Chains A and B, each alone.
Chain A
């Protein structure tokens, strides 16, 4: 892969990301391979937020004055950008949250709290991120429903036979599944899973934290009932995320947090709720961050999600090839459909030491359980190191990773 055919010019794209142009240590350039944890931001996103604070900051939905009008228009404009980006039927189906975690908690605390009880089953999978396990465990303790986990096949894909059987045998009310695994890289067949769930009378929530930033996602084509994702993994700021929900479901759900902006009318005796999406957006929202998310969506759309996906597939395939050449290195997950992550171990070196030594060579990877402790228990691993890629990573950076791993092995030999 000396002369890869990339869908766009990576050097031009890299020039848009200020943080990439620094030395990690004096003389050592930064190689940022921790994108599954959080991606870097293009200047356009940083500038949009700065411009907002410098020129048009005011609260939204409240003021009559010009600045409030500008802020409201920018905030609501971002909602429409997100709607088009994930092909939702209406901007009312786009709820801004703090991130994937809050989006999933919102569904648990509203739909879940109103719907689930003893005898019901929520079906998750063993590969889920803690954000898609813990909210359901907390609610299950309180409401008395049962939480079951679809197991894995040896290649790191879901056992869909068991999934299908459980949907028939168990009183499943909700399937909650990650679209892309942040450890194994597996891209789950959520459209297929949604069809099966609906045939069994269950709803499906898709955790899109590792898919929406990396590939085209069309909620109407997937026919998912809920989709949760975060801004900060898709070139947008931290502190903002999205819950998509089918309108009829959102309409029927009680609100979660109470406060300003989510009400229709408040009296001392009681209150009524505002319409969608405001019913779920109590209090002053993260206006600058939402505006930043809108600009990030513009940025990704201009490159094209198909192109980004293709570029990342090329880099990931190359990384998997190169890593597998290194004696003693094991990469986890062999799914055919896989995203831009490579979790690996090096024989004889703990993942934390691997990450530490790579850091000395300017390479940022993550080490640990990646918020998927049950999955690591299943793999009988205390921790893995993980290289994860985004639209700006290059083959040369993969080469740097491989060289640094050889160096680490030598040091421990």
Chain B
């Protein structure tokens, strides 16, 4: 299934945007995927209005999970953390741009999970997962 490794994925996986952690920062959270052990560490800097101005991340994992972090990170800049709360699974899957199999969806969503759990807690992430799966 080489479709999965289209140019944009490989491009982001090879040339990761906003790679490297921010210190100091206003947001610092690390998550992992228990199925495969992929990890993602996300840091953010916000301005006085709560708008995300800088994104920095590091992680280890497959091309899908790392490209997803790179792609989502780009989109977060200029977005308020409050707006980020409203992001759903489909938003990230649309960034990836082609259908993923069930086990790989988890890889793509690690970036969103890290953002949401870090900002709003694990319960809120479960709510997003359950709502979108229903």
Contact = CB atoms under 8 A, between A and B. Distances in A.
A63 interface: yes
A319 to B, nearest CB: 43
Contacts of B126: 92, 275
B100 to A, nearest CB: 10
A143 interface: no
Given A90-B130, A92-B130, A275-B126, A265 B32 contact: yes
Contacts of A264: 32, 34
Given A92-B130, A275-B126, A263 B103 contact: no
A274 B103 contact: no
A140 B34 CA distance: 36
A54 interface: no
A61 B103 contact: yes
A392 to B, nearest CB: 35
Contact of A72 (B32, B34, B103, B130): B103
Contacts of B103: 61-64, 68-69, 72
Given A90-B130, A275-B126, A265 B34 contact: yes
A399 B90 CA distance: 60
Given A69-B101, A69-B102, A73-B102, A274 B130 contact: no
A274 B130 CA distance: 16
Nearest to B122: A275
B34 A62 contact: no
Nearest to A92: B130
Nearest to B37: A265
A24 to B, nearest CB: 46
Interface residues of B, number: 9
B86 interface: no
B66 to A, nearest CB: 15
B29 to A, nearest CB: 15
Contacts of A64: 101, 103-104
Contacts of A61: 35, 103
B8 to A, nearest CB: 20
B34 to A, nearest CB: 5
Interface in A61-95: 61-64, 66, 68-69, 72-73, 76, 90, 92
A72 B104 contact: no
B31 to A, nearest CB: 10
A76 B103 CA distance: 12
Interface string B93-134: 000000001111000000000000000000000100010000
> Which of A61, A76, A92, A274 has the most CB atoms of chain B within a 10 A radius of its CB?
A61
Nearest to B1: A66
A64 B35 CA distance: 10
B118 to A, nearest CB: 16
Given A90-B130, A92-B130, A274 B102 contact: no
Contacts of A90: 130
A274 B34 contact: yes
Interface string B68-112: 000000000000000000000000000000000111100000000
Contacts of B101: 64, 66, 69
A265 to B, nearest CB: 6
A49 B130 CA distance: 28
Contacts of A66: 101
Contacts of A68: 103
A263 B34 contact: yes
Interface string A229-261: 000000000000000000000000000000000
Nearest to B130: A90
A62 B32 contact: no
A68 B36 CA distance: 14
A296 B102 CA distance: 24
A92 B126 CA distance: 10
Contacts of B35: 61-62
A61 B104 CA distance: 10
Nearest to A272: B34
Interface string B26-45: 00000010110000000000
Nearest to A89: B130
Nearest to A68: B103
Contacts of A63: 103
A266 to B, nearest CB: 9
Contacts of A69: 101-103
A268 to B, nearest CB: 15
27 contacts: A61-B35, A61-B103, A62-B35, A62-B103, A63-B103, A64-B101, A64-B103, A64-B104, A66-B101, A68-B103, A69-B101, A69-B102, A69-B103, A72-B102, A72-B103, A73-B102, A76-B102, A90-B130, A92-B126, A92-B130, A263-B34, A264-B32, A264-B34, A265-B32, A265-B34, A274-B34, A275-B126
Given A61-B35, A69-B103, 4 more contacts: A62-B35, A69-B102, A73-B102, A265-B32
Which 9 pairs, one residue from A and one from B, show the smallest C-beta to C-beta distance?
A69-B101, A264-B34, A274-B34, A69-B102, A73-B102, A72-B102, A69-B103, A61-B35, A64-B103
